Structure 1
Amino acid sequence: MAATAATDQDENSIQDELSHQILLAERVIKLAQEAESSKLECSDLAKQSTQLAHLLRSVVRLTSSTQSLYERPLRRIITDSSMNLDRALKLVRKCKHGGVLRLVVAITTTADFRKVSNLLESSIADIKWLISIYDSESGTNLSLPPIASNDPILAWVWSYVATIQMGQLKDRVDAANELASLARDNNRNMKIIVQEGGVAPLLKLLKDGASAEAQMAAATALYNLGTDQEKVQAIAGEVSAVPIVVKAIGESPMRVQIVLVNLVARMAELDEGVREDLGRENVTRPLVTLLGMDIVVEEAKAPSGKPSIHSLVQINKEVTKKTFHSNSSSSLSLYSDGSSRGGRKEREAESPDMKHRLKVSCAGALWKLAQGSLFNSRKITETKALVCLAKLIEKEHGELQLNCLMTVMELAAVAEANADLRQVAFKPNSPAARVILEQLLRVINEENSVHLLIPTIKSIGSLARTFPAKETRILGPLVTQLGHKSVDVATEAAIALCKFVAQDNFNCVEHSKAIIEANGVPRLMNLLKSNDRSQKHEFILLCCLAIHVSNSPALEQARALSVIEGAARSMLAHHPELRELFAKAVDHLTLYQPGAHSHHKHSYVP
């Protein structure tokens, strides 16, 4: 009821403004007819005002019969017209005077009559143009009204938006495509489209779903508009914008889904608030559904030996049966078909390339949605997304594999900061967590790509507190990466290992022993010898090893105490927060390393 009242008030406001304009024009006509001087000029103004009043009445009829009126150009033109009629009224009012004053007025207003006449002529042309764009039968009008003579883009945007909001379907599609093209050209065009109310009609065109072409045009235009935080907020701020986009993802043809999923990824990346809004609308569900298309897991007997992804999924089947359903007695589909038009047959008819592109987009969107968001990360891990991601990491290559790894990395990063999520989603003995770990270990052992190794190593590091001391497969591969030829990979390995040996890790002592047993000390020393970059994480790692396994022969042989003290001056100058860690490491090594007591009687503190 409140929304209806507001709409009626807006409509009344337009009608009131038009009525005021008509009355104003009639006053100009009346005073012009009563003029005692400059009668010829006043007569011309009266004729123009009569024409203007006639056109305004036509606009009144159009607006009263139009259900969905695009008001932006109308309000601008009415405001301009009102100013011009006011000037005409002041001018003809002067012409009622007689005598000497009449001569003075005649001399001083000749140029004014010409100027006001030109202004009224411009208003007449503006309103004629306005009527033409409100005529749904005529399509888009790309002529240039005087009000936009200095800015053609404004007139084009008005015309395109009016067509999308009020035109026939074919014209609406063409106009949406034109807006998409304008938005792609430059940032100024985007701002004009948003400021002139172009987003709401595009969302309506997307929602109506009259045709795949209409949805594609609307989705592309919205995607081209959402290039920064301000515009993303403008899109999401429209009434029901997020629900419309999410619903369209589940119901649209695949080529439209790709554009909409890319829009979701961009919106999630650019604005944290919109990211949460998308999660609350449960956008993760259709994304996981689409990501998991064609993934079918065979029924298997009870697993024996080393568990595979397939067998682990079967173990977890009962836990997740409320989310996913079985298609037959012999196979389990991870994901439902969704509600897209045409269902499975239409989906199966799509080309492999189209399906692959959609999966790439969905993985990218999940990555951006998970980024720093506990709510979205919970939503994602409540589905079988982890199993799906593991399967794709195993089988795919290139951008899809990378996006899946990045999604896992962001989920793990959120879990690192939240014990509940860590214990639920990444519990070591849960099937989903185990299949993910299998793939992370496979990547770190088999791949050499920096782009793949970095998110993999970060994921393992974020989950350091979930691994029990008996999990012996993890630290060896991480230690090996300390010797990677890429400094970035080696540094990430050091950061990850630091999380295993940190004081707040319950198994820090056991992990420290495992790192030393994996020949970690020599690799770490090689990294510390490099002077072309910051060595903060390597320094922290060595100090933690010294604290937890002070009596290690490997540390003694590597002269760890001398190395730590040698690096301390520079390190503590830039990172004074490490002073306590440094002092503790020196004390432990001094206590346990043979022959160190006399030489290091007093711990060095810069």
Structure 2
Amino acid sequence: MMGSAEEKRIEDELSYPIMLAERVRAAADEAESFKVDCGEVGKLVDRLSQMLRTLVRSTTSVQSLYERPIRRVVSEVSKNLERALTLVRKCKRQSILRRVVRITSATDFRKVLNLLDASIGDMKWLMGVLDTENNGTASGIFLSLPPIASNDPIISWVWSYIATVQMGQLTDRIEAANNLASLARDNDRNKKITVEEGGIPPLLKLLKESSSADAQIAAANALLVLANEQERVRSIVDEMGVPIVVQVLGDSLMKVQIPVAKLVVRMAEHDPVAQEDFARENVIRPLVTLLSFETFVEDSKTQLGKQSIHSIVQINKEMEKFSSAGSTSRNYSYRPYSNSYSNLHMEGSSRGGNHRKERENEKPEVKLQLKINCAEALWMLAKGSVSNSRRITETKGLLCLAKLVEKEQGELQYNCLMAIMEITAAAESNSDLRRAAFKTNSPAAKAVIDQLLRVTKELDSPILQVPAIRSVGSLARTFPARETRVIGPLVTQLGNKDQEVAVEAAIALQKFASPENFLCMDHSKSIIEFNGIPPLMRLLRCGDKAQLPGVVLLCYLAIHAGDNEALEQARVLTALEGADRTVVGQHPDLKELVTKAIYQLNLYHKGVHPQRQLFAP
């Protein structure tokens, strides 16, 4: 209920039922029929009037009042008082005609008395909820059920928990936040009720203002459960949740940062508005900072000994971007080759520095889980977003992701690869990002390529090889003709026993051999020189899923290197003629490409000079 009634002050809302109660009392005193019944009504109304006046005093003494249940209960009390007033007024002296028309019975009084009893029960429950000094779980308030919620018990539990999160003592607030999370986990309806009844603002307040790590964790976990759908995520965004989440992420203990980073993942995953808001609030920098914690320390001594002066200067320039670029409202610093780690400091905060030793002494599994969540957050922030991908590359993010792919295993390694995959996909679609982030002399870009090729060649894990291969394919237009080291591993994977890996390799090689690639002729020749034709021909026999990318790649090779003897020896012309009858039937858009490839092969087969026929129709 978000109508005009909620725009009125709560004191004004309460004045109406108090006035009604006085009118009912006066009408009961003036009754001339059903005097006993009217007297019973008057007694119940007196109790209600006292409770309403007590409620007014309670509401004025509470600074942060949770109003949702008050408005609902008071609205129901007012309706019941109106009904009581109508009934009692019928019992005054009236003309015989009006008495005939408006008959009053004992049944009517029983109904009204039951309604007033229910209102007293609702008020008693409400006052218990608002008793912030004594409304913990020991009093049973969380488990009691007011009459107004008899048909839907969930609403009363949600009200109780939210009221306690907003107004209770710290230990009770923590328990209530955990109970909200537990209730929301049961089903989406409970999540919806929690959001509709105003559960997000007090949870954000608990997350932001609490000095207790347990309270922040409870709030973050409850928000995390709620944030599994776009509309609810948008509710968190609309309540200014994004700046709060970013602030807590940069200025908390690791055990708090873990669920907060996970909350960034969930919100960015489900809502593009949240994804962009997080970027505007500069969440990428604390994420990269946390992800890089201790990442470069182990290599500092060995790298200083091995690297050239030029290489060290280049990497230091790469790192300086992290501390010099971006927002002036926060202070970040990073020393790539020292044993100290500079924490993120929010402006005006001293807590970040206080957490340094705690972070260094934290358990390895806690550090690992935080990095897993931070890498996943970067993945979700980069997904489908050129601007966010650019922000990541403008920090030391690429270099950090590459280093973690090299050193780590399992979920962290996978999340880092997926983040790289999204960044390279963005670079594929945006030439400015591609030129800025993946230029050949960039140490970060070189480190990423090295690790992508290592994963492709050395790891027998399709779940890791697929994003690595896809990333290399996305960067196809960044490699010069002499950079043939990327072609060989992709050609090798054409023969991978896992069909998904083989198909990804074919799709990646397509991007090297495609006419959209300026160096398509050079890359096509390299693919053939790496003996790519035999595994490609085998791929054509693996069903439609593999056949389609295989045919496209084969066509590109025929068009750009049709005079190569390997094509004739492998009977590529025969294969494409067969594909013209089968694959093209299912994919008519390939007709022109296959026809052009067959035409080109026929010309070369007949000894026509390739340069004259390269652009034949």
Same fold per superposition (TM over 0.5): yes
Please list the CA deviations of residues 1-46 of structure 1 after superposition, one character each: whole Å capped at 9, or x if unmatched: xxxxx9xx96853221211111111111111111121111111111
Q: Which moved more, 1:73-82 or 1:186-195?
A: 186-195
Please list the CA deviations of residues 72-93 of structure 1 after superposition, one character each: whole Å capped at 9, or x if unmatched: 1011111111111111111111
Please list the CA deviations of residues 511-543 of structure 1 after superposition, one character each: whole Å capped at 9, or x if unmatched: 000000000011100111223645211111000
Matches within 5 A, 1:191-590: 191-238=192-239, 240-295=240-295, 296=297, 298=300, 313-314=315-316, 316-317=318-319, 322=324, 325=333, 327=335, 331=338, 336-338=343-345, 340=352, 342-531=354-543, 533-590=545-602
Q: How big is the shift at 1:336?
A: 4.0
Matches within 5 A, 1:89-238: 89-98=85-94, 100=96, 104=100, 108-140=104-136, 141-142=141-142, 143-238=144-239
Q: Which moved more, 1:469-478 or 1:47-56?
A: 47-56
Corresponding residue for 2:329? none
Would you say the 8 A contact 1:482–1:527 is kept in 2? Answer: yes
> C-alpha separation between the residues in 1 aligned to 2:341 and 2:560?
45
Distance 1:223 1:113, change over 3 A: same
Distance 1:72 1:388, change over 3 A: same
> C-alpha separation between the residues in 2 aligned to 1:502 and 1:480?
19
Corresponding residue for 2:349? none
Q: SS state of the match for residue 294, structure 1? A: coil
Corresponding residue for 1:3? none
Q: How big is the shift at 1:298?
A: 2.1
Q: Which amino acid aligns with 1:49?
A: V
> C-alpha separation between the residues in 2 aligned to 1:321 and 1:43?
78
Distance 1:524 1:169, change over 3 A: same
CA RMSD in angstroms comes to 2.6
Corresponding residue for 1:602? none
> C-alpha separation between the residues in 1 aligned to 2:284 and 2:418?
16
Corresponding residue for 1:75? 71
Corresponding residue for 1:600? none
Q: How many positions carry a matched residue from both structures?
A: 589
Q: How big is the shift at 1:488?
A: 0.2
> C-alpha separation between the residues in 2 aligned to 1:393 and 1:69?
50
> C-alpha separation between the residues in 1 aligned to 2:290 and 2:182?
28
Corresponding residue for 2:614? none
Q: Which amino acid aligns with 1:439?
A: Q
Distance 1:268 1:115, change over 3 A: same
Please list the CA deviations of residues 460-500 of structure 1 after superposition, one character each: whole Å capped at 9, or x if unmatched: 00010111111010000000000000000000000000000
Please list the CA deviations of residues 270-291 of structure 1 after superposition, one character each: whole Å capped at 9, or x if unmatched: 1122111111111111111100
Q: TM-score, normalised by structure 2?
A: 0.90
Q: Which moved more, 1:224-233 or 1:437-446?
A: 224-233
Q: How big is the shift at 1:212?
A: 0.7
Q: Which moved more, 1:473-482 or 1:109-118?
A: 109-118
Q: Which amino acid aligns with 1:466?
A: T
Would you say the 8 A contact 1:289–1:338 is kept in 2? Answer: no
Q: Which amino acid aligns with 2:164?
A: T
> C-alpha separation between the residues in 2 aligned to 1:91 and 1:581?
86
Q: How big is the shift at 1:138?
A: 0.9
> C-alpha separation between the residues in 1 aligned to 2:563 and 2:497?
30
Q: SS state of the match for residue 506, structure 1? A: coil
Q: SS state of the match for residue 228, structure 2? A: coil
Q: SS state of the match for residue 324, structure 2? A: coil
Structure 1 runs not aligned, ≥5 long: 1-5, 598-604
Would you say the 8 A contact 1:325–1:333 is kept in 2? Answer: no
Please list the CA deviations of residues 565-597 of structure 1 after superposition, one character each: whole Å capped at 9, or x if unmatched: 111122222222222212211221111113799
Would you say the 8 A contact 1:547–1:584 is kept in 2? Answer: yes
> C-alpha separation between the residues in 2 aligned to 1:322 and 1:281?
17
Distance 1:256 1:575, change over 3 A: same
Would you say the 8 A contact 1:315–1:431 is kept in 2? Answer: no
Q: SS state of the match for residue 485, structure 2? A: coil
Match of 2:9 among 8, 13, 16: 13
Please list the CA deviations of residues 266-325 of structure 1 after superposition, one character each: whole Å capped at 9, or x if unmatched: 1111112211111111111111110000122527569668999x7863464556552564
Q: Which amino acid aligns with 1:263?
A: L
Would you say the 8 A contact 2:469–2:490 is kept in 1? Answer: yes
Please list the CA deviations of residues 405-436 of structure 1 after superposition, one character each: whole Å capped at 9, or x if unmatched: 01000100111101111111111221110111
Would you say the 8 A contact 2:322–2:334 is kept in 1? Answer: no
Q: Which moved more, 1:416-425 or 1:150-159?
A: 150-159
Would you say the 8 A contact 1:325–1:332 is kept in 2? Answer: no
Distance 1:234 1:152, change over 3 A: same
Q: SS state of the match for residue 582, structure 2? A: helix
Q: Which amino acid aligns with 1:313?
A: I
Q: Which moved more, 1:335-344 or 1:394-403?
A: 335-344
Q: Which moved more, 1:520-529 or 1:273-282?
A: 273-282
> C-alpha separation between the residues in 1 aligned to 2:104 and 2:30?
20
Q: Which amino acid aligns with 1:591?
A: L
Corresponding residue for 1:64? 60
Q: Which amino acid aligns with 2:49?
A: A
> C-alpha separation between the residues in 2 aligned to 1:162 and 1:266?
26
Matches within 5 A, 1:37-52: 37-52=33-48
Q: Which amino acid aligns with 1:409?
A: M
